[in-house]
Copies of this chain bind each other. A is one copy, B any other.
Amino acid sequence: MATRLGRRSVTFDRAPAIIETANLAGAMEFDGPLGEYLQVRIDDPYLGEASWEKAESRMQEEALRAVLRRAGRQETEVDLCITSDMLNQCTSCSMALRHLDVPHLGIFSACASLTEALYLAATAIEAGTAGLVMVDVCSHHESAERTYRFPTELGIQRPPTAQWTATGAVAFLIQAGAAGPRITGATVGRVIDAGITDPYDMGSAMAPAAVDTLVTHFREFGRAPDAYDLILTGDLARVGSAVARQLLREQGYELGDRYSDCGVLLYDAERQDVHSGGSGMACSALVLSGFLMHQLRTGRYRRILLAATGALHSPTTYKQGESIPAICHAVVLEAEPGGAGEGEGA
């Protein structure tokens, strides 16, 4: 059973482990500062397919198969597969999953889907409804741009607040009582609308939702930020994470170097033309699958708070004059007690 710490926060008593992860990522992501932690490089954004949407789906299927292969498990051992993507009707998932024999739940919290999926995986394991759970999220720069903004062929100029949708597909296998970094708790988000209407400034739109979840997390867990080696938002990027930092300061939380954002970490703003930074479901997922899993496995980080952030708009809503609601779900990830890195410190 989980233990409820407040209305939005729980700890998972079984603390299921992320036993394996697999990722595929684009050239931009491999050329970024965290490229050394990534696994499969996609140089052809079409992956040999006839469209970006088909390429995205192929990428997701390959991530799902790769994580099973790496863990030496069969698809028929998977009790539950929780996935999301950014295409309309989450079709990247559906087109990939028709080729696998796995019980499937589709979710959608935009780019906060990664942590919603990890929360649900841990919940299912606590409830006893599943033993081995697979999680997969993905995004593809080209398919996302034409879904949400403009086809990249048009060469539309992007303002400095714009973010770069990451290309990547990322899968995780989660199981209790096994080796690997643990999911020990979570704080579920609320939908927060700060009134931002510019789809080229999603960082500012999402920052208040991130702050709402982080502050709720600290209060309900009774923890100060220094209980964490790292507190990481999902894809606020430079513009949004500066807003979040300021809003947290106003509520009495000075996070300092302990805080960063996956959209800031994934690319090198000096060398790479990503404007404010990274976004997309793959943004936080690639950072978790590569860099963070390495840090947790080696014990360099003992406990981190990953707060993925999602902008819940569509082209239809912003063309109808709606502002951009957002959400942020946070999960607590901890190095395995007594694991390989025990005692090495942060």
A residues apposed to B, CB below 8 Å: 1-4, 7-8, 10, 50-51, 53-54, 76, 79-80, 84, 87-91, 93-95, 97-98, 100-110, 116, 119-120, 123-124, 126-131, 188-193, 312-317, 320, 322, 325, 327
In angstroms, Cα B191 to Cα A315, docked, is 28
| Oligomer: number of copies | 2
Contacting residues, chain B, for A101 (C-beta < 8 A): 190
Contacting residues, chain B, for A110 (C-beta < 8 A): 89
| Contact indicator B2/A128 (Cβ below 8 Å) | yes
In angstroms, Cα B131 to Cα A284, docked, is 30
| Contact indicator A322/B103 (Cβ below 8 Å) | no
Contact with A188, one of B2, B89, B93, B103 (Cβ below 8 angstroms): B103
| Contact indicator B89/A320 (Cβ below 8 Å) | no
Contact with A190, one of B1, B103, B124, B128 (Cβ below 8 angstroms): B103
Q: A108-B107, A188-B80 are in contact. Are A129 and B126 (CB under 8 A)?
A: yes
Contacting residues, chain B, for A316 (C-beta < 8 A): 53, 87-88, 91
**Given A54-B322, A98-B193, A106-B108, 15 extra CB contacts under 8 A:** A1-B1, A4-B131, A7-B79, A51-B320, A84-B108, A89-B108, A91-B317, A94-B312, A94-B313, A98-B191, A100-B191, A101-B190, A104-B190, A105-B107, A123-B129
